[in-house]
Structure 1
Amino acid sequence: MSSTSRASRMSTTTTIDNRPKHLILGNFELIKVGDCEEHVLCCKYSPQGDSFAVGLGNGTIKIYSKSGQFQYSLSDNDTKTRRYPVTCLKFYANKDDLKADHQKMLAATYTAGYVKIWHYSTQQCVFTFDEKERQPLALDFNSTYTHLFVAGSDCAINCYDFTTKKLIHKFQASQSRENMDGHKSRIHAIRSHPTIETIFLTGGWDDTIHYWDERTLHSQKHFPGPHLCGDALDIVAEHQVILTGSWRKSSTLQIWDFTTGELIKDVFKNNATSM
């Protein structure tokens, strides 16, 4: 084969682009794609909207500015020894707490079996909740930021007093075979009501959303439908609706009536997939 033929063949060789494709639906514009150098399991914007946290598959949390500039990396001996994924992140956003340092706190769950509270601007872990008997998968503060709810692989929700850091309640299904008053599989999302202190919702692998009240250890009611595999549950109090994001090929983003649990809208019924 002549050198001219070889050069011709080499010049026509194409490079396969294996980078993930980004499908944009609605009136959005993709400004920047950041490389976290590790699988991303969860992310959350700060209450002020000036930065966001990213939980990674190797147990590290990275903090970025809203423009995508790297700021902090959060890890300690626990996360370096057992490099398990970060599954959920929540910023402490108590407007009534006037201590400046408390506005820089971030809570995180790890499948290694612990929940950590970070002071992210100093990159210090200020407290660790030990949950090694299960995998903690989701968490949220109540509306007054006095309690911290942690849900996990054992189908239960632990409630901690955030001041004393003591476990005060454990919410789960009863032993009844007639009533579905709790989850039957892993809980991957939990969301407190923004204005009602004792009410919170949960969802997970068993395709149900459960309503809980802190004054009762079992769920008050539930509705079927969403298949949640991550932090994809929210409550919009002013419109009295629930938002869910399901991991499946269709009906991924749905809007539900908070009071009745009835489906209001299937946003992308057939033209969007999360798989």
Structure 2
Amino acid sequence: MAKAETPNLVAGLANLEVSEEEYENQLSKLKKFKDQINIEGNVKIHMSIQCQKEMMCTKYSEEFDYIAGGCTDGTVRVFKYATGEPAFTLSDKEVRDETPVTSIEHRSISKLYPVTNCFTATYANGCVKCWNFLSSQCIYTIREKRQTYGIRYHPRFPKFVTYGDDLKIHLYDEETRTQERILQGSSYPDRQDGPTSRVFAAVWHPKNNYELLTGGWDDTIQFWDLRQPYGIRHIAGCHICGEGIDIHPKGHEILVCSHQTSDALQLFDYGSLRRVARLEPDIFPSKLYCGKYLSKDFIVTGGSSPNLVRIIDLQSTANVGLITSLSNGVFCIDVGPGKKQKYTREKEHTEDVQIRMKSDITVLPKFIFLSGKKLYQMDFC
């Protein structure tokens, strides 16, 4: 998509006698032009939300009826899913104007663990706070003696891990609100069985109750088994600076999004750790912060230098959507509710493939991402 040249409105206004109303109108046009983003492919803006402060993280609520944004001023701002209108503000004197929100999560829903209408947020001062957003009340606070960068709930049990700048992964039981265990490497640095720098990502295996992965500044992806004392294996060469690790829904493949110019986007086999693919879907060597599986065949990634979001078809390894000219880097992405899939069968094989591919794209779930003070909810067309 061609990018238009920025109109030199301010320079022109300096040499012309115009009314104050016209001056404000022209400045408004200039601001709107600068805020434009470029969108290519089968993706469109469903809704955009302007926040008062820059955001570091975002999350859908359990039933996808609200969207939360974690801000640099220590406030979690909650918006309505349908309209983007502000709904709730979550903050207290312990974090307000004191420390950035670094991550937002909620417990997985099941028959045993129903909807709680809660968000759990981590903060750079070490606080972990669970909020009931409907009442704007803090349910409990855990105070860690470190900078805490993130939290990840177990997919089936009321447990979660937190991670930060102290090379340790803390495992908690949410029902008792107690720390069950600390995961860390051994005292033998040559074994590489634990983090040696800050940890910025964690993800549980979708099929195995005991296994999870972590990654951070030490350029490794660490594999953990809760039945073992230390990390059991690792992948080297991946510089993780955000939620840049995800596991395929079937559990056999790992998506790694690294904040580096070479090998920024890779797929690994979970069992053998063999690299399955190095993806280069376009000409932009963006350093990636985050990435997630949209489905078994599509992924979405975001990063900076340049600031962009990609939606990639894993079958063709090509972009089906590309969002550029964003004001800030993309630190966080979350995936929305799934849609019912519909197929149309045709006699011709080529037509059938084309129809199937188009159907696959249009039934992909909405997703949200943040860039500076803006949240964007995207849909497929």
Which TM bucket (shorter chain)? 0.7 to 0.9
Q: 1:125 to 1:97 in 2, by over 3 A?
A: farther
Preserved CA contact (<8 Å) 1:118 1:126: yes
Partners of 1:244 and 1:253 within 8 A in 2:
yes
For residues 225 and 65 of structure 1, what CA distance do their matches in structure 2 show? Answer: 40
Would you say the 8 A contact 1:87–1:109 is kept in 2?
A: yes
Q: Match of 2:183?
A: 171
1:182-193 aligned at under 5 Å gives the runs 182-193=194-205
Alignment of 1:1-275 (within 5 A): 9-10=15-16, 17=31, 19=34, 22-24=37-39, 26-67=41-82, 68-80=84-96, 83-97=98-112, 100=115, 102=116, 104-131=117-144, 133-238=145-250, 240-249=252-261, 251-268=263-280, 270-273=283-286, 274-275=303-304
Alpha carbons of 1:24 and 1:190: their partners in 2 closer, same or farther (altered >3 Å)?
farther
How does the TM-score come out when normalised to structure 2?
0.64
Q: Distance in 1 between matches of 2:222 and 2:35?
A: 34
User: SS of the counterpart of 1:182?
Assistant: coil
Structure 1 residue 224: deviation in Å? 1.7
CA displacement, residues 17-51 of structure 1 (integer Å, 9 cap, x when unaligned): 58456354652112333211211101112243332
Does the CA contact (< 8 Å) of 2:206 and 2:251 recur in 1?
A: no
Paired residue secondary structure (2:170):
strand
Amino acid at match of 1:217: P
Name the CA shift for 1:264/1:21 in 2 (closer, same or farther; >3 Å): farther
Shift of 1:121: 1.3
Q: How big is each residue's C-alpha offset from its partner over 1:225-274, in whole Å with a ceiling of 9 and x where there is no partner?
A: 33221122211232622223222345443332222223333334642512
Which amino acid counterpart does residue 91 of structure 1 have in structure 2? H
Runs of 5+ consecutive residues of structure 2 not aligned to the other structure = 1-11, 287-302, 305-381
Which region of structure 1 is more displaced relative to structure 2, 30-39 or 239-248?
239-248
The alignment partner of 1:212 has SS state of strand
Q: 1:267 to 1:70 in 2, by over 3 A?
A: farther
Q: Distance in 2 between matches of 1:253 and 1:20?
A: 28
> Does the CA-based 8 Å contact 1:42-1:231 persist in structure 2?
no
Shift of residue 59, structure 1, vs aligned partner: 0.7
User: Cα deviation per residue 1:186-230 (whole Å; 9 max; x = unaligned)?
Assistant: 000111112311111111111211111111231111102332211
User: In 2, are the aligned partners of 1:202 and 1:211 still within 8 Å (CA)?
Assistant: yes
Relative distance call for 1:10 and 1:46 in structure 2 (3 A) is same
Distance 1:98 1:262, change over 3 A: closer
Change in CA separation of 1:272 and 1:234 when aligned onto 2, cut-off 3 Å: same
Instruction: Return the alpha-carbon distance in structure 2 between the equivalents of residues 22 and 226 of structure 1.
Output: 29
8 Å contact 2:159–2:171 — kept in the other structure?
yes
Which residue identity lines up with residue 121 of structure 2 in the other structure? A
Greater mean alpha carbon deviation, residues 115-124 or residues 39-48: 39-48
Deviates more, 1:250-259 or 1:172-181: 250-259
SS of alignment partner, residue 43 of structure 1: strand
Question: 1:77 Cα shift?
Answer: 2.0
Kindly tell me: are residues 186 and 11 of structure 1, through their superposed partners in 2, closer, same or farther at Cα, counting changes over 3 Å? Answer: farther
Partners of 1:94 and 1:145 within 8 A in 2: no
Question: Which residue identity lines up with residue 122 of structure 1 in the other structure?
Answer: S
Q: CA deviation at 1:75?
A: 0.6
Higher relative contact order (CA 8 A, sep 6+): 2
1:3 paired residue number = none
Measured in 2, the distance between the counterparts of 1:214 and 1:91 equals 21
**What TM-score, normalized to structure 1?**
0.86
RMSD of equivalent CA atoms: 2.6
Distance 1:52 1:195, change over 3 A: farther
Contact (CA 8 Å) 2:107, 2:158: kept in 1 or not? Answer: no
* Maintained 8 Å contact 2:56/2:101: yes
Q: What is the alpha-carbon distance in structure 2 between the residues aligned to residue 263 and residue 95 of structure 1?
A: 34
CA contact (8 A) 2:108 2:153 kept: no
In the alignment, the residues of structure 2 paired with residue 255 and residue 88 of structure 1 have an alpha-carbon distance, to the nearest angstrom, of 24
